[in-house]
Amino acid sequence: MAERPPSNPFDLKRRQLLKFAGATAAVGGLGLQATLSLADEGKPKASGTDDGVLDVAIIGAGMAGLTAARDLQNAGCQSFVVLEARQRVGGRVLNHDLGGGQISEAGGQWIGPGQTAVADLARELQIDTFPTYYQGKTVVLGGDGRLEIDLKGTFGTDESIGAKLSELSKVVPSGAPWTSPRVAELDKLSMGDWLAQQNIKPEDRSGWDTSLTLTGGVTPAKMGLLHFLSMINSASCDYMKLDSIKDSAQGTRFVGGSQALCTRMAEALGDKLRLACPVREIADWDREVVRLITDQGEVRARRVIVAIHPALCNQVRFQPALPEGRAALQRAWPAHSPARKTAMVYRRPFWRDKGLNGHTLEIKGQVLWAWDNSPPDGEIGVINAFVVNAMVPSDHDAARQVLAQIYARSLGDEALSPIGYHDHDWGQADPWSLTCVSAIPPGFWSQHGPSLRPACGNLIWSGTETAEIWAGYMDGAVRSGHQSALQALGSLRKA
């Protein structure tokens, strides 16, 4: 039977190039190092050439950078290195160790329909998935009131308003929202502006405010309408596939946590991965060999994949200066969308016995959204939450007490006796985690969009923000890693 062609033309290009690269690897490492002699055959390939110049240097060991490294390695390229500023891999995915072999995700954790790139990667790495728990009633807290309601795997937002957004998203390409035929009209509005035009009842508006704040890390007034529509476009132009739990982008988790994908990819890299190695300066990016000045010395490479957050690039010195369009994009990119994620641990998920799903929505309160984040077997109970940083104490013990009181009101007095508590503020975690998500404001794409992806000399831009679909998600990070590896391999062969 003939092989079924991939539905995405990019997947076809990727397969063709990787097959071609694999075929040429035996005669000189992708044809890039033709000086290898017959005497070298059978010996391990060095991580660089005789002059110490690598084919590729990758900045960032998040999901994008590690995917790019994996693709290079699978294609037969051994002349590369991955430089990571942190003492760990994963970037914006991170697992809390709860003990006893259990974890809770501190960063990105979900995948859903259409996110095939990250799902394929998990299968290749033999990492299983399981559904997010949402069976039962959600508790809504507001003032002194408490309401139990079955939201059927949604956040309770108005479906008719969601349908309007879905229809609008059809004219906003996910990979290039600035090319929309309605860009002038749509990019001048925030989501707050647009919602104000829909005559939504105040009691219904709170659901939208919570949902959008969870998605973008900012209030609707700071979220660009054009940007949000491009996100919906990624979800097959279906708002409910983006901002729900059932059959949506929050529908599926990874056994062992999302960081397991990164640690497993990193294990295969050996000494090609350098941790605690921040890049301070990128010089000669417009010449044949790029020089990277790091805390562990200088690295030279013919191509550089920059797989870090665009705003984080502002902490790197570029010599010569980047083209003004790219530099302006980096300066304007939102650098701080506060996201603080907590995990309260219990001996068992006691709320399930009461017909509750563990989800809590607090209107104008300290908890944006809390949910059942227990392991797949329910061996222990875990309630994760996105909290309002300004309203929850920064002190670990004080925050634990405040949240336990809220959960007791929502789920029952058993919540007053947790056996563990974890807290991660992405805005304060380390110098390399400026933010968890990027909420793009009105007007940004119109002005800066065309500068997002084009290479600058021998610099190739990667990271989830550059993805053609599912930008900002783990799936987007994986896609951008594939794309940047292809760019590097292709440009090296042309050279």
Q: What is the pLDDT of residues 232-287, one digit of tens each?
A: 999 999 999 999 999 999 999 999 999 999 999 999 999 999 999 999 999 999 99
pLDDT at 370 over 50: yes
Least confident interval from 40-54, 153-167, 451-465, 466-480: 40-54
- What local confidence, expressed as pLDDT, does residue 481 receive? 98
Annotated binding site for FAD: 84-85, 279, 465
pLDDT at 67 over 70: yes
Annotated binding site for substrate: 386
pLDDT at 452 over 50: yes
Count CB-CB contacts under 10 A for residue 144.
6
In contact, 20 and 43? CB cutoff 8 Å: no
Distance in angstroms (rounded) separating the CA atoms of residues 87 and 91 = 10
Q: Where are the domains of the chain?
A: 53-90+257-335+437-493, 157-244
| β-pair partners for 104 | 96
Radius of gyration, CA atoms only, the chain: 23
* Residues composing the chain: 495
Q: What is the value of pTM for the model shown?
A: 0.90
Distance in angstroms (rounded) separating the CA atoms of residues 304 and 291 = 9
Distance in angstroms (rounded) separating the CA atoms of residues 48 and 56 = 9
* pLDDT band, residue 467 (cuts 50/70/90): very high
Count CB-CB contacts under 10 A for residue 223.
25
Annotated binding site: 84-85, 279, 386, 465
Integer distance in angstroms from the first to the last C-alpha of the chain?
Answer: 38
To the nearest whole number, what is the mean pLDDT of the chain? 90
Residue 289 Ramachandran class (φ > 0 left, ψ -120 to 50 alpha, else beta): beta
Say which CATH class 53-90+257-335+437-493 falls into.
Answer: alpha beta
Residue in 435, 432, 341 with CA at minimum distance from that of residue 85? 432
| DSSP category for residue 132 | P
* pLDDT band, residue 465 (cuts 50/70/90): very high
What average pLDDT does this structure show over 131-159? Answer: 93
Helices then strands, counting H and E runs in the chain, come out as: 14, 19
- What local confidence, expressed as pLDDT, does residue 397 receive? 97
- What local confidence, expressed as pLDDT, does residue 392 receive? 95
- What fold is seen in the domain 157-244? Guanine Nucleotide Dissociation Inhibitor; domain 1 (1.10.405)
Helix (H) or strand (E) holding 63: helix 63-74
Same fold, 53-90+257-335+437-493 and 157-244: no
